[in-house]
Amino acid sequence: MHARKYYIFFKSALLMFGFTTSAALVAEDAPPPAKDPTQKEAIPTPTTDTQPYSNDYGCYTVEFPKAWAIEKTGDSGDIAAVSPAEHESDTLFENAAVWVEPVEDDMNLNSYFNETLILLDAHCKKFEVLEKGETAIDGTQALWFKAKVCRGGVSGEIMQYLMVREGRVYILEYTAEVGAFERFGPTFDAITKSFRFSCPPSNSSIAL
């Protein structure tokens, strides 16, 4: 399996590690930042005010909330959209990401999905799958899971959708600090529903 990227998005920096997933996480043992008791916590909701994004390399389009900052990785199909701060003491940004990479000839969607879970379990201090299932995104079969993750002293919740199409694996990933995922769920769902493949499929078929 080709190594994917692992991101931790904080307010002041973008840190990169070689690992198999992306994440916006919070230090496991660190106390939460002090919050202004008069500051109400923002509740993200789906919005029609979006910014469309098109990736020619990955042959896909997707829409992110307009207020989110897009971080593109080189000329590849990798992209991340980072949410803005919810309040002045906010030190962490939730985010959505799309990863695209070639898939090995002998690896179908089920084997790629299972290997992803095995690698996460092996490389994380804690990896607990909360839910998993199957759906379709733009008419393409997708396997998904939601999990609690802790690695390198940071922890959070992630959700990944994995698809195999035209010799590539597509990963849609959403990350949030523990306790915030449900608030961002409707926004994450809206991003997933906006995802479209922009290149027509060839005559070749990919085993699922």
Tens of pLDDT along 144-202? 999 998 877 777 899 999 999 999 999 999 988 888 899 999 999 999 999 999 998 77
Q: Give 124 or 33, the one with higher predicted confidence.
A: 124
Report the residue count for the chain: 208
Is the pLDDT reported for residue 35 higher than 80?
no
Report residue 67 as tokens. 């207020």
* Residue 48 confidence (pLDDT): 62
* Residue 133 confidence (pLDDT): 98
Give CA–CA dist 7/13, Å, rounded: 10
3-state secondary structure of 62: strand
Task: Convert the pLDDT of each residue in 116-138 to its tens digit.
Answer: 999 999 988 889 999 999 999 99
Contact 25, 93 (CB under 8 A): no
Give CA–CA dist 172/98, Å, rounded: 5
Give the predicted TM-score (pTM) of the model.
0.77
* Residue 187 confidence (pLDDT): 96
Domain assignments of the chain as residue spans, ordered by start: 5-27+49-197
* Residue 171 confidence (pLDDT): 95
Q: What is the mean pLDDT of residues 4-18?
A: 30
Instruction: Please choose, from the candidates 85, 91, 104, 114, the residue with its C-alpha nearest in 3D space to the C-alpha of residue 169.
Output: 104
**Report for 38-47, 89-98, 190-199: range of highest mean pLDDT:** 190-199
Task: Convert the pLDDT of each residue in 47-86 to its tens digit.
Answer: 569 999 999 989 999 999 999 999 887 667 789 999 987 7
Is the pLDDT reported for residue 11 higher than 80?
no
**Report for 4-18, 39-53, 194-208: range of highest mean pLDDT:** 194-208
Give CA–CA dist 171/144, Å, rounded: 9
Task: Indicate the pLDDT class of residue 1, thresholds 50, 70 and 90.
Answer: very low
Ranges 100-104, 109-113, 119-123, 202-206: which has the least confidence: 202-206
Superfamily designation of domain 5-27+49-197: Mog1/PsbP, alpha/beta/alpha sandwich (3.40.1000.10)
Give CA–CA dist 130/132, Å, rounded: 7
